[in-house]
Structure 1
Amino acid sequence: MALFKNIIGLIFLLLMQVSCSSDDNATPSLSAPLALNPSDITQNSFVANWAGVKDAQSYVLDVSSDIDFTSFVEGYQALSVNGIYTVVDNLSPSTSYYYRVRAVNGTAESSNSMVISLTTEIPDGSVLKELTQDFFIGTIVQSNRMTGMHHEVINREFSSITAEYEMKMNIMYPSEGVYDWTASDAIVNYAVENKLNIHGHALVWHNATPNWVENFSGTDAEFETMLEEYVKTVVTRYKGKITSWDVVNEAFNDGSGTYRNSVFYQRMGASFISKCFQWAREADPDVLLFYNDYNMCSDQTKRDAVFSMVDDLISNSVAIDGVGYQMHIAYNWPAKKDIQDATQDILDRNLKVHYAELDIRANPNNDQSTLTDARSLELKTKYKEIAELYTALPTVNKYALTIWGLKDNESWLLDFHGHIDWPLLYNNNFEEKDAYYGVLEGLVK
């Protein structure tokens, strides 16, 4: 029995020695840290956080301004940190940053944590147009809404304007042979005086056709001559002042993608589109020419028809520079991927993208009597999403992001849908809403 105990004891001592030797010399296997969301984000700094790792003696932090970590913020490449957080400072405001962390024990180092992203705060007093250096940020105007607070907000925040309805055929050409430039001249002169870009909207639209055109008594050939004269007259009048035009607006039916049975289609067939584009180009070789339509992110059949038409224009060397998507959407629709997919159709043709007529319904189901805090934040999220999507486009494909109105009680949506809504960036008192800050945040690259 004594011999047995001695043998067991000897084995135990040997095992202890092996164990101790192993503990002294083995390199520990370290798990990647769990990177946590940053805290205390300011214009110039943030606190990077992560969960501790068993056996870690320290940590290594990388901070970059690109998600692939091809370059590093000065002082933050493999920065050694004794702890589970550190302040990252000397940063630029309104800038996206990314960080990752690794655990260290002696010469052992774990793999990288997941990458955490953040954007430093926007400086106090920032305005929309300061964050849109490679495209225009726009709003709409009426000739009697260009003074007072309208004037102040337009010139503080925006770099481009569009006439809401006063540069359409029924306003500018109310009777045969007689043009009325009163409102359109006022709007264009206002833009010139205030150094604002102006987008022309719209030369041809079935819903803004004067009665005399709808009931045109001449032949089809005379109708075409009349339309050519109108397009060239308008574009020539504002040559060098208006930088872009929606040449044709909403020429296709929803769902079927067939051509609308407008008077223009009845008299000239589908060729009225290509001819209007050609006449506009002849009148102003430098102006940007757009086709504009709605439901383009949700109606695949309609979108296919539109781009079939666009492809025909391109293949026949008819000038078209871009496509406008009327972004009359809702806080919960359409999905981000649908917007991206629809936008890709424009990018694939190397045309300019105009997110036109952007307003976002906060009350599409008429189930809200007031704009609740929760719905206001949902609206902010959607506005931020749209601004982020547009900002991320290649610079060569950007033209403008145009908000369709300033304050909620002036939105066309109220009359169109017949109930209360809060679809714009400002409340009835011209005070910025959460939606405004959503756009502001979304414009940050």
Structure 2
Amino acid sequence: MKRAPFGLSGILLLAAAAAAQTHTAPPRLERLDTGQAGARMSLQPLPIFQPAPELRPWRGMAVDADAQFAQSECGQSLPKAVGTNGQVLPFASPASAANTEVSLMKAFHDCFDIGAAIPGATLTAAEVELLRANFTTVTPENCMKPGPVHPEEDRFNFAPADALVELARTNGLTVNGHTLIWHQQCPAWFFRDGDRPASRERVLQRMRAHIAAVAGHFAGQVKSWDVVNEALDDGEAYLRPTPWLAHIGEDFIAEAFFAARKADPGAELYYNDYNLERPAKRAKALRLIRDLQQRGAPIQGIGIQGHWQIDRIPFDDLEAAILAFHAQGLQVMITELDIDVVGRQASGADLQQREQSADPYADGLPAEVQQRLADQYARLFALLLRHRDKISRVSFWGLHDGRSWLNRWPCRRTNHPLLWDRALQPKPALFAVLALRSREQP
């Protein structure tokens, strides 16, 4: 078995720290079991694990110098720490794990870009360092959407987006523009002439002018654009009933792509949506792709958003979607990845009661849920690695748990959907993902 150049020593540190947090007299860490007996690998002796100040009762706990690892089938489960007494130790993400050298982008540098959505240039210095060390590209969460950037017909607000682009440039990151056309966060002025609905010609002219101004402003600075976002219907209809569809017609999507290409000939142009892996919506997406291609519209890629729940990731449907979209000649991307650990059960209770009852992990994520989250991320990335020749980018919707939109939607609660926690510390899910690549490295 091949020697791992990164990540596995970090997993050892995490496991040792977890033992320190969980047992007053912890057994020494003997190995990591990944679910399949057979090939084993020895690492160089690891240094004495020095716990963070909050772990001082167990200062000086050592990791076995000749620890060995059992290889598992790719992505089936997160390696489990096993002590000398045979007890399985839970993982944790202590502050001391921050010193472990890991880099998500370096691990996947020859597979696909690794991205994160950020709110703007308002990140802390520590967040910028996390971003620079682990990601190759950023997506603005809001500041390039029609409402924030073009609030009135004769007024643009480019300052927040300009600052984000400069932050990316300074730190060697590319930018995926998000998004030129969307039915939400879109000012009503696009569709009105005074107190009357605007004509098709007027709305089409405004859409073209908006795209020309925004994509033109960032031409040469933005690598790619989500040209149209979430235009497909979730029900029986083909396209979502939006003001764009009502005023222009079905060809508004093709017209948006033509305008984007004219404004920035060098940018890559994508369609972005959620639930595209589901068979019914996938069929609509394929219909849209073929329609755009027949019209000569310059669509180059499709973004599968990837907002999934921890026990409801449709792996088989996702794989089928990747294959189907790639067969149409498109780049495939996972554009807004997170894994919701709380759930989204509907409730008839008032919002305040729902918020109070739907926040089970306000004090942190239990070890068992950490393990499930890590298992799901490992299985997901194993699938993505199998299709690395078809996938050009995997972007997370948020930099760390504290920045996730799932802390606010569908109601306020404490969610833990990403690979770094609120203290910017790596979670077991990160090391589960890194372990997939470590087994492939020479």
Contact 1:140 1:406 in 2 (8 A): yes
Taking every aligned residue pair, what percent have the same amino acid on both sides?
27
Residue in structure 1 matched with residue 211 of structure 2 by the alignment: 231
CA distance in 2, matches of 1:255, 1:438: 36
Deviation at 1:149, TM superposition (A): 1.4
2:126 aligns with: 149
Change (3 A) 1:305 1:151: same
Q: C-alpha separation between the residues in 1 aligned to 2:322 and 2:44?
A: 34
The yes-or-no answer on 1:351 pairing with 2:330 is: yes
1:443 and 1:289 map into 2 onto residues whose CA distance is: 29
C-alpha distance in structure 1 between counterparts of 2:323 and 2:437, whole Å: 19
Do structure 1's residue 330 and structure 2's residue 309 form an aligned pair?
Answer: yes
Task: Determine which of 221, 230, 243 is the counterpart of 1:250.
Answer: 230
Which residue does the alignment assign to 1:30?
none
Select the structure of larger CA radius of gyration.
1
Determine if contact 1:168/1:201 at 8 Å carries over to the other structure: yes
Where do residues 42-191 of structure 1 align in structure 2 (5 Å cutoff)? 42=42, 125-134=101-110, 135-191=112-168
Could you tell me which residue of structure 2 aligns to residue 422 of structure 1? 416
Give the residue type in structure 1 aligned to 2:374.
K
Q: Which residue of structure 1 aligns with residue 379 of structure 2?
A: 385
Kindly provide the CA deviation profile for residues 292-332 of structure 1, in whole angstroms up to 9, marking residues without a partner as x.
0001223x222211210111111222111110001000111
Structure with the higher fraction of residues in strand conformation: 1
Q: Aligned partners of 2:315 and 2:323: how far apart in 1? A: 12
Structure 1 residue 212: deviation in Å?
1.8
Q: How many angstroms does 1:219 deviate by?
A: 2.6
Matches within 5 A, 1:228-307: 228-298=208-278, 300-307=279-286
User: Please, which runs of 5 or more residues in structure 2 have no aligned partner?
Assistant: 1-35, 46-65, 80-99, 346-357
Offset at 1:192? 1.3
**Which residue pairs with 1:371 in the alignment?**
365
Distance verdict in 2 for CA 1:443–1:186, change over 3 Å: farther
State the aligned residue count: 344
Matches within 5 A, 1:423-442: 423-442=417-436
1:406 aligns with 2:382: no
For 2:43 and 2:300, the matched residues in 1 are separated by 38
CA distance in 2 between counterparts of 1:382 and 1:145 reads: 31
Contact 1:297/1:334 (<8 A) preserved? no
5+ residue gaps, structure 1: 1-35, 46-86, 99-117
- 1:43-80 superposed Cα distances (whole Å, 9 cap, x missing partner): 599xxxxxxxxxxxxxxxxxxxxxxxxxxxxxxxxxxx
Equivalent position amino acid for 1:437 in 2: F
Are the structure 2 counterparts of residues 334 and 257 from structure 1 closer, same or farther at C-alpha, using a change threshold of 3 Å? Answer: farther
**8 Å CA contact retained: 1:357, 1:402:** yes
Question: TM-score, with normalisation over the residues of structure 1?
Answer: 0.71
8 Å Cα contact 1:136/1:400 also seen in 2: yes
Question: In 1, distance between residues paired with 2:400 and 2:319?
Answer: 27
Partner of 2:22: none
Calculate the aligned-residue CA RMSD, in Å. 3.0
Determine if contact 1:257/1:301 at 8 Å carries over to the other structure: no
SS at match of 1:290: strand
Q: Secondary structure at the match of 1:139?
A: strand
